């Protein structure tokens, strides 16, 4: 895999900064909308179950956004340390196409596939 050019790195940094802003906005909105299901409200059992399920789904979405924001922050830190674009496992360059699709990706495609196979 070829190393990234300076132009590609700067473009990917801009992508990371946009993604960071979007994720922060999502988390802010999610925190503003967060509410606990009041079990004492006189609503039907199914309505309460729907509300609890919706709350769990929103919580899962928030957790996923927090995880991705952490990855974005790590990628930005790697950029500051001139280590952005290299796989954290094999230390080979991560392809531009992969980083364009997922700029916070910490692993090259081969290492990511290997990790996913082990998790199954």
| Second CATH level (architecture) for the domain 6-119 | Up-down Bundle (1.20)
Question: Tens digit of pLDDT for each residue in 45-99?
Answer: 667 678 778 888 988 999 999 999 999 999 999 999 999 999 999 999 999 999 9
User: Is the pLDDT confidence value at 37 over 60?
Assistant: no
- The Cα–Cα gap between 90 and 50 comes to 45
Instruction: Select the more confidently predicted residue: 100 or 29.
Output: 100
Q: Find the mean pLDDT for residues 39-44.
A: 60
Half-sphere exposure of 116 (CA within 13 A, CB side): 7
- The Cα–Cα gap between 112 and 108 comes to 6
Question: Tens digit of pLDDT for each residue in 4-20?
Answer: 999 999 999 999 999 99
């Amino acid at each position: 895999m070829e190393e990234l050019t300076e132009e590609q790195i700067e473009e990917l940094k801009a992508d990371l900064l946009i993604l960071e802003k979007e994720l922060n906005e999502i988390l802010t909105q999610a925190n503003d909308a967060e509410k606990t299901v009041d079990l004492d409200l006189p609503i039907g059992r199914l309505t309460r179950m729907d509300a609890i399920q919706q709350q769990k789904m929103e919580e899962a979405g928030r957790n996923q956004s927090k995880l991705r924001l952490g990855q974005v922050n790590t990628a930005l830190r790697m950029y500051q340390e001139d280590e952005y674009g290299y796989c954290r496992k094999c230390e080979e360059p991560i392809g531009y196409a992969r980083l364009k699709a997922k700029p916070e990706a910490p692993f090259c495609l081969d290492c990511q596939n290997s990790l996913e196979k082990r998790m199954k």
